[in-house]
A and B are shown apart, each in its own frame.
Chain A
Amino acid sequence: MSSYYLPQANEVELFEAAAGMNLPVLIKGPTGCGKTRFIETMGEKLDREVYTVVCHDDLSAADLVGRHLIDENGTYWQDGPLTKAVRNGGICYLDEIIEARKDTTVVLHSLADYRRVLPIDRTGELIEAHPDFMLVVSYNPGYQNVLKGMKPSTKQRFISLSFTYPKPEIEKEVILKESGVDEPTAQKLVNIAGEIRQLSDSDIQEAVSTRLLIYAAKLMVKGFDPYEACMHSIVESLSDEEDVLEVLRKLISLHFSKAE
């Protein structure tokens, strides 16, 4: 089954070009705007396997590179997702790279630049990257962090793609395709999203994502009342503050009159 992705701009062409030039790609964008879906689709298109690693604080270099394991014959070496992609070709996708500690991500440096090699300290190996190996990282620029953050010198090695929430027509199309909801409802969801995205950081912590809109639409297709569906997918997940909640509820009820 091939996955569905509707381009926002020329990101498909840029990604293909980067792949052709053996350059790593960095994708910026808020959560739920289609980054993961995009890379899955590109993997299919380029016929390369995608190894996804979601980064977090506790992620160690061994989680990326690999480690020794033990069985009845003694110890043996097991490649991590990064090493697999480097050896066999494929896209290694590090989601939310900012969450990973710096001592974990140093292993990427020699892969990101012209050398395209991966040294494995524990086995003493130096692997030259397969021609089809590609490094892709993503992060959400909304979170600023002094303690972490990417070194500018590392950042400069990447081709950057900047994602935002799709334009209204595209977003509507995506909602229609992904949920099977009717056109007027999809339009309303896009309108609601447009309004919520007008709020600034001081009103609300994070804006509503395409993903949440699709959840709402899917609940409606399952037979839930539109107001209820929006409550559980959009409103409650955006804020815990009563003032904000009240307004969001009001907004939804203005678009979808509340069922009595």
Chain B
Amino acid sequence: MKRDIILAGVGGQGILTIANVIGLASIEAGLFIKQAEVHGMSQRGGDVHSDMRISDKEIASDLIPEGQCDLIIAVEPMESLRYVDMLDDEGWLVTNTTPYVNIDNYPDMADVMKEIESIPNHVAIDADKIAKALGSHRSANMVILGAASPFLGVSEEKLKNAIKKLFGSKGDKIVELNLKAFDEGRKRANL
């Protein structure tokens, strides 16, 4: 079992929370993990990504080799495309469709969607809208994680345990909201 995952988004969108959940669940599952994060300059509203590798064998490189990524998880549609050169032919792209527009030359959304749809294995959902409907706009990242969960190679139960662990200190209500967001995302991916 091996999954090479790229998490993508814009600085401040919380991709590291997704990474933390996958990380915790993978530890639970007794897997090896390496996760390269981005700190510093690129955090201020710029593009950010993280290479996350989980495997039942020891992992050598902290970086994913080009063309071998199994899964791109993106909380922003244009950012999901920034790393498609890394994606394996069989790899999956799971992305949010709500754009984060903080640059003047943000492309036309129709063009962005066309490119996303040209990736054979893709799931594109409006995680912001789904999260809002659930009453917690801040759990869009858990919606996306839910949508990506069938491709992670880690059980749903372990992922949910990790969510409980990670948000536990914030109270039962927050845990519930995030679990609901996860479920809703997972449901959409399976459609």
Chain B binds chain A: no
Q: Which residues of B contact A (CB under 8 A)?
A: none
